Amino acid sequence: MFGRTAIVVAQDAGADAAALFAQGRLPAGTINVATADDPRGDVSAVSLQVIGAKPATLDVVSRGDWTAPFDIASLAGDGRLPSSLVIDVAAAPGAARSAPVASVFLNDVLLAARELDANGRRERIVAPVPRHVLSAQNLIRVSFVRQPASDRCRETPEAYPVSVLASSHVTLDKADPGADFSGLIARFSTGANVFVPVSYLQDAANTLPRVIALAASTGVPPARSRFVAVADDGPQKVKGPFLAMDIALKDVDSEVKVQAGRLYLAQGPGRPLMDVAGLRGAGIVEVVDQGGAAGALYRTLGSAGPAPDRAFQLSQGNVAVIASGGLRAEINTWDPAGQAVIGDTRAGSPATRRWGVVTAIALAFLAGVAAMAGWGWWWWRRRLAAGKP
């Protein structure tokens, strides 16, 4: 069209077109696509190849990295989220006496590591995935480290092969969605409604990048979502998970006040958690609830909103400030000090400690009963030995 390649999409075929582009297999030439969707099923494990991660062999002298990016929407389904990464590797023996080490990272967080036998056979690394590490856009990295040579310093360091095998996969498990951005990922797994004001359609050049970036950042699956343009006051009632942008939803539980470019976030009586004015070209996205339907609500701060050129990582917070350059701040108003994450590595919450006390008392009681039973058996045997019934 006009000497340039054109992609023409029917008015009611947005989901099919989005699925086709998400798969990354758009052929050349003129084609007609009736349906394009990801093969899905009720499965508890998904091969990394399905999400675009290809097995590979690396020649490693001292260090080599294998990486695989994936979109959470390609895995999450039926309320399931990744619970562990199962990485199968194989390494050839080298000249050094020290064994090579394979480390598994997710979003630059070390999940597991193993010293390899390096005998050319398959070795499995199982890395549990904490919920707070997951994001809508994720990156798996497997890092291999070798000693370059043995202690005979005259040897020339040589590269030896290591492989990430095709049997590597992700295990999925049912997730209990929380009131944060990572919880939205589980809720959006079966689809979502994307609401924008009619004014967005009249300024698509500036608003479309914002819609795409926010949808990708919150885990909205393109092939299983519905795009709706509504009046500025928004729909009266939202059914199902949603992403609403610059519309005034009614009866929404929101902790953020936005007025005349000022952002106010309360923490307690007379004590704001955040009070910022003068923000330009920025916006705020918040996890909200409307009548039992959970979703994300975006509001522009000031007269002009951001137009991000890429998605950004949202995970533990429920309020985020974004700009054209990316994420500026992420806050969890329910847990601003991060005690929930700290509690995973400490002795436990008060409820956990109470259960620990109850368990200790129960064990002490059982130990006392066992001791009394043992003493009674000993006493009875002595009476029998003395001829006394």
Angstrom distance (rounded) from CA 75 to CA 48? 10
What is the pLDDT confidence band of residue 91, given thresholds at 50, 70 and 90? Answer: very high
Please state, for a pLDDT cut of 90, what percent of the chain lies above it. 18
Average confidence score pLDDT of the chain: 76
Angstrom distance (rounded) from CA 160 to CA 60? 5
The predicted model gives 305-320 an average pLDDT of 80
Angle 263-135-303 from CA coordinates, rounded to 5°: 25
In this prediction, residue 253 carries a pLDDT of 74
Selected residue with higher pLDDT from 281 and 245: 245
- 45-174 folds as Jelly Rolls (2.60.120)
Which residue, among 188, 116, 175, has the nearest Cα to 147 in the 3D structure? 116
Q: Is the pTM of this model over 0.85?
A: no
Over residues 18-43, the pLDDT tens digits come to: 766 665 444 555 555 444 455 455 57
Q: Which amino acid is at 83?
A: S
The predicted model gives 286-291 an average pLDDT of 84
